[in-house]
Amino acid sequence: MSRYGDRFLAETYAKDEPVGAGLSSEVIADTHEYGLWIPERLFHRIQNLARAYELHLLPALEPDGKNQLTHSQAETLVDELNFIGDLISDELLAGYIGRLIELAEKCTRSARQVLLVIEGP
């Protein structure tokens, strides 16, 4: 393994505080039960890539707070995540990006008024 090879291993982030993501229709109020948990440092990596390419939504998300994204914001998130996903060769990060895209797309396809909730520790 190279000097920085641990950056690509899930166990490196096992003790990180998680950032949760889920649909408002599936999250039980105040229980913090989310369908997706992203290690905080990996979420920051996604945001830092978005900043580097001057994207708008991802850098504006508050990683330590509660973000509630509307249908149109979820569409923007999908676009930004797809852009970042096309740039990287980090399979671990790509897996989290892919699952976050799935949630955001589920939000955009919902006939009901649901929000995509992203909440930090």
Phi and psi at residue 29, to the nearest 5°: -50, 130
Answer yes or no: is 118 within a domain. Answer: no
What residues pair up with 118 in beta bridges, in sequence order? 21, 67
Tens-digit pLDDT profile for residues 12-28: 999 999 999 999 877 65
Tokens standing for residue 27:
């999250």
In the structure, what pLDDT confidence band is assigned to residue 112 with cuts at 50, 70 and 90? Answer: confident
Strand order in the sheet with 116-119: 36-39, 18-23, 116-119, 66-69
How many domains does the chain divide into?
A: 1
pLDDT value for 121: 83
Whether residue 104 is contained in a domain is answered as: yes
Does residue 6 fall inside a structural domain? no
d(Cα 28, Cα 83) in Å, to the nearest integer? 31
Q: How many residues does the chain have?
A: 121
Q: What is the mean pLDDT of residues 84-102?
A: 97
Quote the domain boundaries for residue 26. Answer: 13-112
Is residue 95 situated within a structural domain? yes
Q: Does some domain include residue 91?
A: yes
Residue 25 inside a domain? The answer is yes
